Amino acid sequence: MKFRKKKTATRLMTRPEEGKNPSRGVFTRRALLLMAAQGAVLGALAQRLYGLQVRDGGHYARLAENNRLSKRFFAPPRGRITDRFGIAVAANKVNWRALLLAEETNDLPGTLERFSQLVPMEPRDTARVERELRHKRRFIPIMLRDFLSWDDMARLELNMPSLPGVLIDVGTTRVYPFGPLLAHVVGYVAPPSEKDVVRNAELALPGMRVGRSGIEQTQDEGLRGQVGSVEMEVNAVGRIMAELDRDEGHPGNEIALTIDSGLQQQVLGRMADQSASAVVMDCRNGEVLAMVSNPSFDPSLFDSGVSQAQWIEWTNNSQTPLINKAVSGLYPPGSTFKPAVAMAALRAGTLSPGDRINCPGYIDVGGTRFHCWSRYGHGSLTLRQGLKFSCDVFFYEVARRTGMDPIAMTSHQFGLGAPLDIELPHVRQGLIPTPQWRRAHGHHWNGGDTIVSGIGQGFMQVTPLQLATYASRIATGRNVQPHLVRAVSGRIGDMAALDHAGPMENMPDHFFSAIREGMYAVVNEESGTAPKARLAIPGVQMAGKTGSAQVRRVSRAMRESGHFNSANLPWEYRPHALFICFAPYDAPRYAAAVVVEHGNAGAEVAAPLARDIMTDTLMRDPVNHKESPGQEVAQADVDQG
């Protein structure tokens, strides 16, 4: 019994040794956990690899490609503006410039500092760059410096690795070979404002310019063209390795003007230092051959920025060089208005060419005496004589008989005080007053208002362009429309045709003949008011009409004293001198209007100036030439293509 018990005990004691090792169980659990963790990591890696290579592979391939490629947009060449013979009056000049792409540098202040050490920048350039960095997106290039010299470019090229985001580019700047000669017609360009960029993001590109005046402004959209782009391969530091693709975009339209730049130069030369304006037109189709406003300004200064001193000088000049007097200057027409009054009376039946009106030197209306320019009067006059002698009393009486409304209606048909749709900004309409207009301003229209309107005084205001249009319509009897754009990208416009303008409505030819005969007598007959306007070209006569427009009232006492002379007044108080004309008389081709500010007497100042201008026009005969008649004109080193 004792032996069995001992054996059992021994068997019980050895049973744990026959069972599982506890340390092996712990090891097995750790291995499983490790395997699970490894599996999770491998799964995550596999998922990530799947995402990178399969799901998002295209996206990252594009990012990698973008690191290798750089696509940049650039402004297209602005379209040229030429005169009627193809001579460039606004063109482009190539220049080298430094641009900054903010998105390609991580240290923008450091890049700008290193750049300024290599190429010094003016304080205004620094301020402009800082302003553009705040307002432009990082992928839009910003102009650092324009007009780089070869030395500047060499320094930048050597230091390109330390200038991330900086690149050298070729651009163009706007040049005006004739400078002030055509500034008011062609206009000028300037960098776009923030409002411009908001309306059109493409204007943020370096080199983009916006027309601010003249043809540059009215034809701005067509002159800009379409933006181009270039795709380049770059290395890790942004250096250009190769150009892969280029889209040149589309250059702006080329605008051919009706202007003859040689004639324009001659007209300006005739004016010398006078504050004056003149317009010469082809009276058959309305092409403006010359439009001069003197003094003028240099339009190229606006491209780079006008200094404050220069701006103050311009704005303080009493002769207003920044204003195009030909379309924005407003003047009383004076006696140049008398043919319009005559036409209104002929149409209304209140006057016929043979009717006579007596001029004793004055007329009394409503208790007020209105004087003729001749103290002694002109006696009994017909319409022809009334125009020839420019008798004030004759047209006082004609205006009194006819009334202001018919006069205003006829004047508007002639283009006076009416809008003219010419391709220029800031074209003023002027004013031919009427009783309705006067009442709308809270005043009563009286008989005296009609009387003074009969000789182009009072509230009347017209522009030299309107006067030239008026002269053209008298010369031809057709409703010609003034215009400056002759062709766009080689296509000549419909208005160049000589027969595009229809006849003047309700104005018979015999009415025009009566008025033209009177204007012929003004220039070519003895005792006419403008003998100094007579042409020296054999067999060619010019018809015209003088005008002197008062800028201040001359009292009755002054007139009757016999000693009053407006030439003795200070310059700003003297009357304006005006003259309208057309030639040749028997087959009109050209019409012109001249206004000399405070020139005092149209017959003494404006008439001889108009004679010289018309002589130059006829001798050049720009309408019948396909190439420039040979007048030397200024040119510059510009891109003619």
Amino acid at 375: R
Ordered domains of the chain (ranges, CATH): 72-257 (3.90.1310.10), 261-296+323-620 (3.40.710.10)
Q: Which tens digit of pLDDT belongs to each residue from 57-72? A: 666 666 565 566 666 7
CA 566 → CA 207, 554, 605, distances in Å? 52, 9, 14
DSSP H stretches of helix in 174-250: 183-186, 194-199, 214-218, 220-224
- Measured in Å, how far apart are the chain's first and last C-alpha atoms? 130
Distance CA 533, CA 432 (A): 28
Strand partners for 576: 549
For the record, the structure tokens of 13 come out as 């004691």
At 31, the amino acid letter reads A
pLDDT of residue 80: 95
Specify whether the CB–CB gap between 357 and 394 falls below 8 A. yes
Return the closest-CA partner of residue 353 out of 203, 521, 499, 222: 521
* CA 21/CA 542 separation, integer angstroms: 133
pLDDT at 60: 63
pLDDT tens digits, one per residue of 230-240: 777 766 555 55
Reported as type and span, the H/E element at residue 246 is strand 240-247
Measured distance CA(529)–CA(392) in Å, rounded: 13
Which tokens in the block code for residue 291? 């439009």
Structure tokens given for 394 = 């004759």
Beta bridge partners of 294: 276
Helix (H, G, I), strand (E, B) or coil at 510: helix
Q: Distance between alpha carbon 20 and the CA centroid of its chain, in Å?
A: 102
For residue 529, the 8-state DSSP code is: S
Pick the closest to residue 157 from 165, 168, 148, 149 (CA basis): 168
Backbone angles phi, psi at 190, to 5 degrees: -150, 160
- pLDDT of 9 reads 47
Strand partners for 246: 230
pLDDT of residue 241: 66
Q: What is the 3 state secondary structure string of 412-481?
A: HHCCCCCCCCCCCCCCCCCECCCHHHHHHCCCCCCHHHHHHHCCCCCCCEECHHHHHHHHHHHHHCECCC
Residue ranges of the chain whose pLDDT lies below 70: 1-27, 52, 56-71, 234-243, 304, 552-567, 631-641
Measure the CA–CA gap between 121 and 112, rounded to whole angstroms. 10
DSSP-H helix ranges across 51-135: 57-68, 108-118, 123-135
Instruction: Determine the Cα–Cα distance for residues 166 and 160; give it in Å rounded to an integer.
Output: 7
Cβ atoms of 479 and 504 within 8 Å: the answer is yes
